[in-house]
């Protein structure tokens, strides 16, 4: 396959960026999207040019490092991560636009790499449980009803890639934050911090400069792990409950 790539190039956080056009040839339809970018970078290095910087790590769709907006879609046309997107989703001769996540809370560091540490700080605000240290307890020591376990697991699938923020017209992090809150708030292990967790994490989300939810549903459409839009509803419900219960 021969492709035309239009890639966002930006030297550093302070520099102005622009789209640059590149031609790549000899792309196999079995290559992953990142392997296609590797091919481009090899050529750029051979030509003595600066390779395109992009985030990647496990390349198995489970770490949440890869982050590209491909033809206007976070993670591209398939419901998966960019590393699990294959070139068979494109045709010979296609022009592909590749851009970084866009949100003021995710500033561009270089080219397609953005700073997602805002997510870490939201987790630090309450995305944990007070667990006793030492040997792991018996698995059946704390009974968890099956529907609750399923609900928690569905939300635990969030890999924190930030596609929800990239897809949201308001740059909101509601889907990410709600997934993390719902995952722990439904479980007995998460009960001691149930109220403070939702209040603190939502407050941190606001402080990071993410936008608010207007229920467009773009986040849930973009999410490679299929976190549903109704997660945000559950978070709102938890937030209202906590606001009523906690007087501080």
Partner 1 sequence: MARTVWDSSVGKKTVMAVSGLIMLSYLVVHMMGNLKIFFGAGEFNEYAHWLRTVGEPFMHYEWTLWLVRIVLVVAVVAHGVSAYQLSRRDIKARPSKYVHKKPRASYATRTMRWGGIILALFIVWHILDLTTGTVHSGGFQEGRPYQNVVDTFSTWYGNVIYIVAVLAVGMHIRHGFWSAAQTLGAGSRTRDRALKTVANVLALLLTCGFLAVPVGVMTGVVS
- For partner 1, the binding residues (CB under 8 A) are 6, 8, 19, 69, 71-73, 97, 99, 102-105, 168-172, 199-200, 202-203, 205-206, 209-218, 228-230, 232-241, 243, 248
SS3 228: coil
Residue 82 CB coordination number (10 Å): 29
Q: Which is closer to partner 1, CB of 137 or CB of 226?
A: 226
Q: Which is closer to partner 1, CB of 61 or CB of 185?
A: 185
Q: What is the helix, strand, coil percentage profile of the chain, to 5? A: 40, 15, 50
Q: How far is the CB of 162 from partner 1 (least distance, A)?
A: 13
The answer to whether the CB of 81 falls within 8 A of the CB of 224 is yes
Q: How far is the CB of 206 from partner 1 (least distance, A)?
A: 5
Q: How far is the CB of 174 from partner 1 (least distance, A)?
A: 8
**CA nearest 37: which of 93, 102, 111?**
111
Give CA–CA dist 87/143, Å, rounded. 45
Token match 């897809």: residue? 167
184-196 CB burial, b ≥16 within 10 A, e <16: bbbbeebeebbbe
Q: How far is the CB of 121 from partner 1 (least distance, A)?
A: 13
Q: Which is closer to partner 1, CB of 81 or CB of 231?
A: 231
Q: How far is the CB of 25 from partner 1 (least distance, A)?
A: 22
Give CA–CA dist 97/19, Å, rounded. 8
Q: Which is closer to partner 1, CB of 103 or CB of 187?
A: 103
Q: Which is closer to partner 1, CB of 140 or CB of 248?
A: 248
């Amino acid at each position: 396959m021969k492709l035309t790539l239009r890639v966002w190039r930006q030297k550093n956080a302070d520099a102005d960026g622009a789209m640059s056009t590149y031609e790549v040839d000899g792309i196999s339809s079995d290559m992953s999207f990142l392997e296609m970018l590797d091919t481009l970078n090899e050529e750029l290095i051979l030509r003595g040019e600066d390779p395109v910087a992009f985030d990647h790590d496990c390349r198995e769709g489970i770490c949440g490092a890869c982050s590209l907006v491909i033809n206007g879609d976070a993670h591209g046309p398939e419901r998966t991560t960019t590393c699990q997107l294959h070139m068979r989703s494109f045709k010979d001769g296609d022009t592909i636009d590749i851009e970084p996540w866009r949100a003021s809370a995710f500033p561009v560091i270089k080219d397609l790499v953005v700073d997602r540490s805002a997510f870490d700080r939201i987790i630090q605000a309450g995305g944990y449980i007070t667990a006793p240290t030492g040997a792991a307890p018996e698995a059946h020591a704390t009974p968890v009803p099956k529907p609750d376990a399923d609900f928690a697991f569905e939300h635990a699938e969030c890999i924190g890639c930030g596609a929800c923020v990239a897809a949201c017209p308001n740059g909101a992090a509601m889907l990410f934050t709600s997934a993390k809150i719902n995952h722990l708030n439904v479980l007995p292990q998460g009960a001691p911090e149930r109220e403070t967790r939702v209040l603190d994490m939502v407050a941190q989300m606001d402080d990071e400069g993410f936008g608010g939810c207007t229920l467009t549903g773009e986040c849930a459409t973009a999410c490679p792990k299929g976190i549903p839009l109704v997660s945000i509803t559950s978070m709102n419900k938890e937030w209202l409950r906590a606001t009523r219960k906690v007087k501080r």
